[in-house]
Amino acid sequence: MPASGGGASLIYCGIDWAERHHDVALVDDSGQLLAKRRITDDAAGYRMLLDLLAEHGDCEDSPIPVAIETSRGLLVAVLRTGKRKVFAINPMAAARYRDRHSVSRKKSDPGDALVLANILRTDMHAHRPLPDDSDLARAIAVLARAQQDATWNRQQISNQLRSLLREYYPAALEAFAVWQNGLCRPEAREVLKAAPTPTKAARLTRTQVAAALRRAGRQRGIEGETERLREVFRAEWAHQPLLVEEALGKQMLALLVQLEAACIAADDLAEAVEEAFPQHPDAEIVLSFPGLGIQLGARILAEIGDDRTRFTDARGLKAYAGSSPITRASGKKSSITRRWVKNDRLNHAGYLWAFAAIRHSPGAMAHYRRRRDDHGDWHAAAQRHLFNRMIGQLYHCLKKRVLFDDGTAFPALLATAA
């Protein structure tokens, strides 16, 4: 419950945050502005904020709830200490509330802080506070999201490099096509460093190619790969003019530096996730599900957290993940469509999870085939329906502290398939 000021009224706090300073507003349950202040974004400013809250009745047993338009940063970390409820209000939602207090569409930082405080005063029941996750779960979330971002960045740079090579160096794409992950492999990067243009690649000796493969860490099949690469590079290919080819080679080397940094970052973060995730108590349950390894399991845990009170039931988690359909009805018209407002990271991880589960779980495969054959779903819709079912099962297993069992999860489907 919110803290009481003077034993009479409830107090609510709104904070409009910025890069260098933050505006704070306190209101009571009647909407009366009790205090407003601008604090700096440093330790002194944070102490000033806590002192201001304490002046109006904030205490450990009854802390004043706070509304702010972000869920990250040092200010949020300071506010989340103890039992305080911190509400991260979407800026678009705050903008809609602003129109309730003024029709002139005026905007100011102190005014936005007052709007945020009034959101809690009138509609706190309609907003969800930040989950009370453990420090280990929050650390895993940082690492898993960073690794996911690094993976996406690596793929983006790899696509840029592939497009550039198509302009002047198709021999490289042909040479690396047989390798898994192609341009992201260290062998490909070392060969491109040794020969940034097709002209230089055609002149590579066996010793130079073998040395590049060894620098990349390859230990087996070096002679066979060396001969294959030289054969591809020495074949007949179309060429850009020499000056243009040299310029494109320099551009490629610049992109190669970015790709190598992205690959190293993704690999280092993946190692950090592999070290941290198994330490969590929920890791064993998460990894018992088909299709979930350490990296993907860590991404799932990062988004759902370990606060069991965060979602009242499995339906809330499914809606948060964007796997459950949504009904839009108006008059005589009604439609059931997929959700567009969702946790995009969790939804992306769910797509990969369902895709992998189909290959590792007979029950998941039977469910997928039933959606395709009996209900006429397209591939993406059938996968989304499978993810919707399995994330509900994950909610149940985490709640009951039991491991996943294929026969329990899909009893009817497995019996029909048998």
Q: What is the pLDDT of residue 324?
A: 85
Residues of the chain above pLDDT 70, percent: 95
Of the candidates 80, 83, 89, which has an alpha carbon nearest to the alpha carbon of residue 120? 89
Rg of the chain (C-alpha set)? 28
Q: Give pLDDT, residue 9.
A: 64
Q: Are 218 and 197 in contact (CB under 8 A)?
A: no
C-alpha 322 chain-centroid distance: 14
The residue count of the chain comes to 418
The predicted structure's pLDDT at residue 416: 67
pLDDT at 231 over 60: yes
The answer to whether 224 and 255 are in contact (CB under 8 A) is no
Average pLDDT over residues 117-124: 90
> Can you give the residue ranges of every domain in the chain?
4-130, 139-275, 283-417
List, for residues 40-98, the tens digit of each pLDDT value: 989 999 999 999 999 988 888 889 999 998 888 888 988 888 888 999 988 888 888 88
Each as own residue / partner, the long-range contacts of residues 253-260 (CB below 8 Å, 24 or more positions apart, any chain) are 253/192, 253/193, 253/196, 255/157, 255/160, 255/161, 255/164, 256/161, 256/189, 256/192, 256/193, 256/196, 258/157, 259/154, 259/157, 259/158, 259/161, 259/183, 259/184, 259/189, 260/189
**Is the pLDDT reported for residue 339 higher than 90?**
no
Distance CA 251, CA 364 (A): 46
At residue 207, does pLDDT exceed 80? yes
Question: Mean pLDDT, to the nearest integer, of 362-378?
Answer: 91
Which residue type is seen at 112?
A: D
**pLDDT digit string, tens, across residues 148-200:** 999 999 999 999 999 999 999 999 999 998 888 889 999 999 999 999 999 99
Determine the pLDDT at residue 229. 93
The Cα–Cα gap between 339 and 353 comes to 18
Cα-Cα-Cα-Cα dihedral of 173, 179, 183, 184, to 10°? 170
Of the pLDDT bands very low, low, confident and very high (cuts 50, 70, 90), residue 19 is: confident
User: Which of the four CATH numbers 3.30.70.920, 3.40.50.300, 3.30.420.10, 3.20.20.70 does domain 4-130 have?
Assistant: 3.30.420.10
Place of tokens 């009242």: 312
Cβ proximity of 246 and 182 under 8 Å? no
C-alpha distance across the termini of the chain, in Å: 55
Query: Is pLDDT above 50 for 7?
Result: no
Partners of 328 in the β-ladder: 335
